[in-house]
Amino acid sequence: MRIATWNVNSITARLPRLLAWLESSGTDVLCVQETKCTAEQFPHEELRAIGYEAAVEATGRWNGVAVVSRVGLADVVHGLPDGPRYEEVAEPRALAATCGPVRVWSVYVPNGREVDHPHFAYKLRWFEALTAAVAGDAAGQRPFAVLGDYNVAPADADVWDTAVFEGATHVTPAERAALAALRGTGLTDVVPRPLKYDHPYTYWDYRQLAFPKNRGMRIDLVYGNAPFAEAVSDAYVDREERKGKGASDHAPVVVDLEV
């Protein structure tokens, strides 16, 4: 079984590449982030045409998540239970579903913006709600994973230059402590370092030739429980999908399971 996560940075803009990638990669389940569309605008028909169904949590604007599957889609949970609001809005950043033998959450963790910004405090509260929401599945016997754009680099090795990020979000002790608390529920990072190259980044800014210069970050993660981690046979970042015209600024992260 092949499971992946991908921040597509607008599913409308990325749809031709997304459909082609699903077919060429043989992915069974894809967790999508930053759909930037309403639920009504989501391309259900185009996905059905190639054998996939989707559950969507989206309201338009800048967020939105989905789970796309060709192996079943059941027990869907829309939104983060007891999740915090930002400026009185419950943002569409989390969705759970059972796909065949595996249960997944697709998450788009708040960016945080700046350390002294209210969005940063919101980000930490959001992590607390996520940790509480997944604890039961994380400790269970069914393969389970939380996949998505975490907007946190777990370690200094996950950014191209630590000096550039000094005093900025994504690398602070508070954010990394939130990740550690999430792992404390029984989850582990199932994508090893190094992979087939020294720095398996997953995100590169569109500006200043960041991708050609490999000035990236590893912020798209797959955290699985023990049954999920034990079933992993391979994992990789599909850097090729970051190349060329019309690419997202994130690359897909792919995990193969023997389940």
Q: What is the pLDDT of residues 83-98, one digit of tens each?
A: 999 999 999 999 999 9
The values of phi and psi at residue 169, to 5°, are -70, 175
> Alpha carbon 195 to chain centroid distance?
18
Kindly state the helix (H) or strand (E) to which residue 167 belongs, with its residue range: none
Confidence of residue 60 (pLDDT cuts 50, 70, 90): confident
Mean pLDDT of 49-62: 95
- Confidence band (pLDDT; 50, 70, 90) for 242? very high
Mean pLDDT of 43-52: 98
Distance separating alpha carbons of residues 241 and 249, to the nearest angstrom:
10
What percentage of the chain reaches a pLDDT higher than 70?
97
Classify 9 in phi/psi space as left (phi over 0), alpha (psi -120 to 50) or beta: left
- What domains can you pick out in the chain, each with its CATH number? 2-257 (3.60.10.10)
Closest CA to 200 of 169, 221, 179: 221
How much is the pTM?
0.97
Can you tell me the distance from the alpha carbon of 218 to that of 126, in angstroms, rounded to the nearest whole number? 20
Residue 61 — very low, low, confident or very high, per pLDDT cuts 50/70/90? confident
- Mark the binding-site residues for Mg(2+), compressed into ranges: 7, 34, 149, 151, 249-250
pLDDT given at position 181: 98
Residue 172 clears pLDDT 90, i.e. is over it: yes
Taking the C-alpha atoms of residue 30 and residue 250, their distance in angstroms, rounded to an integer, is 14
**Residue 196 above 60 pLDDT?**
no
Residue 197 reports pLDDT greater than 60: no
For 255, residues 6+ apart whose C-beta sits below 8 A from its C-beta are 2, 3, 4, 145, 190, 191, 222, 224, 232, 234, 235
Q: Outline where DSSP puts E strands in 53-101.
A: 53-57, 65-69, 74-78, 94-99
Q: Cα 170 to chain center, whole Å?
A: 15
Cα separation, 20 vs 153, in Å, equals 29
What's the confidence (pLDDT) of residue 187? Answer: 98
Average of pLDDT values for 237-243?
Answer: 95
pLDDT (tens digit, 9 = 90+) per residue, 71-124? Answer: 999 999 999 999 999 999 999 999 999 999 999 999 999 999 999 999 999 999
Residues with active-site annotation = 108, 149, 250
Instruction: Find residue 5's DSSP bridge partners.
Output: 31, 253
Cis ω for the linkage preceding 194 (within 30 of 0): yes
Q: Where residue 200 falls among pLDDT bands split at 50, 70, 90?
A: confident
Q: Residue 59 above 70 pLDDT?
A: yes
Integer angstrom CA distances of residue 242 from 4, 30, 248, 252: 15, 16, 6, 8
Q: What is the pLDDT of residue 192?
A: 72
SS3 183: helix
Give the C-alpha separation, 191 to 32, whole Å. 18
180, two tokens: 């550690």
What number of CA atoms fall less than 13 Å from residue 198's CA on the CB side? 6
Segment 113-165, tens digit of pLDDT = 999 999 999 999 999 999 999 999 999 999 999 999 999 999 999 999 999 99
